[in-house]
Amino acid sequence: MSNTETPFDPMTAWTASQQAFHKMITEAQQRAQAFADEYTALEAQLIARAKAAIESWAQLAQDALAYSAQLSQQARKLGLETARKIQGAGA
């Protein structure tokens, strides 16, 4: 061994490896937290869109029922008018 080389110090190597491992774990946790935050935001958007779609479907169903009731009322009215005309023409 020459005088310019530093001797291998196992404690320094151990400390360096532990610091590198700690850094890797910390960064992984930060990435996982960032992913969870992004997923939370996307999930909130999904729920908001689903609620809006349900409200839209509910309104469409109500409109369809109202239109059906209107058509039924008009059909009854036309049926009664036709029956009166037929009765009036036959008398």
- How far apart CA 14 and CA 12 sit, in angstroms, is 5
Give the pLDDT confidence score for residue 24 in this predicted structure.
98
9 phi-psi bin (left φ>0, alpha ψ -120 to 50, beta other): beta
Give the pLDDT confidence score for residue 35 in this predicted structure.
98
Q: Confirm if 15 and 21 have CB atoms less than 8 A apart.
A: no
Q: Mean pLDDT by 10-residue block, N- to C-terminus, for the chain (91 residues)?
A: 74 94 98 98 98 98 98 96 86 63
Give the pLDDT confidence score for residue 88 in this predicted structure.
82
Give the pLDDT confidence score for residue 2 in this predicted structure.
54
